[in-house]
Every structure is written in structure tokens, then in C-alpha cells.
């Protein structure tokens, strides 16, 4: 199992966090996910045999948010 933390621009409130969380949970292989409004981060673990970090980054981008490198 792989664990990742992404810095995300523009998380302003719980509604934004829930939108990102829902997108992460739609990716096959997700195990756990948490989105922090205060820290502007999404932390999640997933089965690397079912998905890649790129899949999760794309899911976040598809919600309209940007990942910090």
C-alpha cells in the first residue's frame, strides 16, 4: 500500500474538501483519504497494483483544483 500527501491550491472550505475527497474515492484502489482545509492537503493511501499516483492527481485536477509541485 502506498501513502501520498498532495499540496492542493484553492481549498477554501469543507465543501471544497468534500469535493476532492469524493473524487479521490472514485479512483479504483483507494484505501483511506483525508483532505485538510487548513493545510491545503490531501493525504491518501491506495493499492499501487490497482492505481497510480497519476490517477489521483488527475482526479483532483478534474474537480478544478491545482496540485502544487
pLDDT tens, residue by residue, 21-46: 999 999 999 999 999 999 999 999 99
Cell 488527475: give the residue.
Answer: 58
Mean of all residue pLDDT scores within the chain: 97
pLDDT score for 17:
98
CA dist 52 and 48 (Å) reads: 6
pLDDT score for 5:
97
Q: Is 51 exposed, middle or buried (0-12, 13-18, 19+ CB in 10 A)?
A: middle
Domain assignments of the chain as residue spans, ordered by start: 2-67
Give the dihedral sign, CA 39/4/24/31: negative
pLDDT score for 36:
98
pLDDT score for 59:
98
Query: What CATH architecture is 2-67?
Result: 2-Layer Sandwich (3.30)
Amino acid at each position: 500500500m502506498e501513502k501520498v500527501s498532495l499540496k492542493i491550491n484553492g481549498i477554501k472550505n469543507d465543501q471544497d474538501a468534500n469535493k476532492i475527497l469524493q473524487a479521490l474515492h472514485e479512483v479504483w484502489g483507494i484505501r483511506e483519504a483525508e483532505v485538510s482545509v487548513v493545510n491545503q492537503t490531501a493525504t491518501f493511501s491506495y493499492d499501487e497494483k490497482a492505481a497510480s499516483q497519476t490517477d489521483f492527481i488527475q482526479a483532483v485536477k478534474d474537480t478544478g483544483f491545482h496540485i502544487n509541485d
